[in-house]
Amino acid sequence: MSAVVETGGADDGTTDGGGSFREPPPPDDRLWRHPSEVAQRPPRSARSQPVRPHSPWPIALVSGLLGSVLTLGLVVATGALDRGAGSAIVREPVPSASRLADAGGGGRGGAGDVVRVAERTSPVIARIDVAGDDTATGSGVLVRDDGHLVTSAHVVDGARSINVVLADGSERPGRLLGADPLTDVAVVKIDGAERFPVAVLGTAADLRVGQPTIAIGSPIGLIGGSSVTTGVVSALGRRVAGREGPPLLDMIQTDAPVAPGSSGGALLDSSGAVIGITTAVAASEAGHQGLGFATPIDIARSVADDIIATGRPVHVWLGIEGRDLDGASAQDRGLAGGAVVVGAVEGSPAERAGVRPGDTVVEVAGKEVTSMSALVIALRGREPGEEIDLGVVRDGERVTVGVELGTRPPES
Catalytic residue among 184, 269, 298, 306: 184
Catalytic residue chosen out of the listed positions 227, 263, 271, 302: 263
Q: Is the dihedral of CA 27, 33, 37, 41 positive or negative?
A: positive
Rounded distance between C-alpha atoms, residue 113 and residue 216, angstroms = 14
Task: Name the active-site residue from 154, 157, 271, 302.
Answer: 154
**CA 253, CA 236: separation in Å to the nearest integer?**
6
Q: Which helix (H) or strand (E) holds 57?
A: helix 56-69
Beta-strand pair 339-344/320-324: antiparallel
288 among known catalytic residues: no
| In contact, 147 and 189? CB cutoff 8 Å | yes
Is-catalytic flag, 154? Answer: yes
The CA distance from 8 to 24, in Å, is 12
Which of these, 289, 186, 294, 181, lies nearest to 238 by C-alpha position? 294
184 included as an active-site residue:
yes
- Give dist(CA 159, CA 210) in Å, integer: 37
The amino acid present at 199, given as its one-letter code, is A
DSSP letters of 310-363? HSS---EE--EEEEEPPHHHHHHHT-S--EEEEEE-TTSHHHHHT--TT-EEEE
Q: Is 166 exposed, middle or buried (0-12, 13-18, 19+ CB in 10 A)?
A: buried
Asked if 22 and 15 touch (Cβ cutoff 8 Å), the reply is yes
Q: Which residues are catalytic?
A: 154, 184, 263
